[in-house]
Amino acid sequence: MNLEQTCQKVITLCKHVGSFLENSVNHVSDDMITVKASMDFVTQIDKESEQQLVEGLAIILPEAGFIAEEGTSNKVGERYDWIIDPIDGTTNFIHGVSPFCISIALRDNEELILGVIYDPIQKECFYAWKEGGAWLNGKAISVSDKKKLNESLIATGFPYTDFSLIDEYMASLRVFMTKTHGIRRLGSAAMDLAYVACGRYDAFYEYHLKPWDVAAGSVLIKEAGGKVCDFKGGNNYLFGEDYVGSNGEIHSEFMDVIHLHFK
């Protein structure tokens, strides 16, 4: 497989579906919203956009299966699987707030080999493929060169359905508030990871994340020169539900805080 060519096809598909999202963002009525769990929503637009993505990706790579947030397809690939979030940041989308994005990754057995994140409002397309570097709208990107935590801007996501680690989270937040340039919360984990990859943020952490939240961004960060791991410093970040991504330079210092508060 030519990963660069495949990536370009995915980008074209994301931009097409992104136009649908852009045209739909201010037309979400209450009867289009379903509550999956407390403060966890899905709209008819999520489902329609995922259907478009599944259909398009099936043409690009017919043998691949799907791990998709809204369960549009349960096909399991023998080797390849697409990991899809049709709208990462659905709550933002419902309220007409930016950012929200499409996030797509391709997994070859256990290895993530391609990732695309598209923000249809800002028209920013972040993409990367194995050994191909990381890119934003045709320009190469890399993680930041910040070497100390006290020079860094940190991103996170607030707990909204799982509050089991809220005390640990709040304690870690206190440290990052007082020992960095600040903390940002966009409301879209995929966009946070894209921003780490291009150097806007220096690190990101969150718990209770799903594969479609982090898969594409993980490819971006790695190809941009950064590091990703779970809260224990291991590699179970795709399905383990806790995640750290950084520029690599501050990774050890950042993980010291994580290890201190999340046992």
Q: 194-238 pLDDT, tens per residue?
A: 999 999 999 999 999 999 999 999 999 999 999 999 999 999 999
To the nearest whole number, what is the mean pLDDT of the chain? 94
One domain for residues 155 and 131 = no
pLDDT of residue 35: 67
Q: Domain boundary residue among 141, 157, 183?
A: 141
One domain for residues 111 and 173 = no
pLDDT digits over 57-86, tens only? 999 999 999 999 888 888 999 999 999 999
Q: Domain boundary residue among 123, 141, 159?
A: 141
pLDDT of residue 72: 87
pLDDT digits over 138-151, tens only? 999 999 999 999 99
pLDDT at 255 over 90: yes
One domain for residues 58 and 125 = yes
Residue 56 phi/psi, 5-degree rounding, is: -70, -40
* CATH number of the CATH domain containing 171: 3.40.190.80
User: In whole angstroms, what is the distance from residue 55 CA to residue 164 CA?
Assistant: 37
Per-residue HEC secondary structure of 70-119 comes to CCCCCCCCCCEEEEEEEEECHHHHHHCCCCCEEEEEEEECCEEEEEEEEE
pTM: 0.94
pLDDT of residue 159: 82
One domain for residues 218 and 173 = yes
- 83 vs 40, more confident: 83
Sole residue written with tokens 């010291």: 256
Amino acid sitting at position 39: M
Task: Count structural domains, the chain.
Answer: 2
One domain for residues 199 and 105 = no
pLDDT of residue 37: 54
One domain for residues 177 and 256 = yes
Mean pLDDT for the stretch of residues 112-125: 98
One domain for residues 162 and 47 = no
One domain for residues 133 and 167 = no
pLDDT at 56 over 90: yes
One domain for residues 137 and 176 = no
One domain for residues 188 and 119 = no
One domain for residues 65 and 117 = yes
* CATH number of the CATH domain containing 133: 3.30.540.10
One domain for residues 111 and 153 = no
Per-residue confidence band for 38, with pLDDT thresholds at 50, 70 and 90: low
Domain residues for the domain of 245 are 149-261
Q: Domain boundary residue among 117, 141, 165?
A: 141
Residue 188 token pair: 């879209």
pLDDT of residue 26: 76
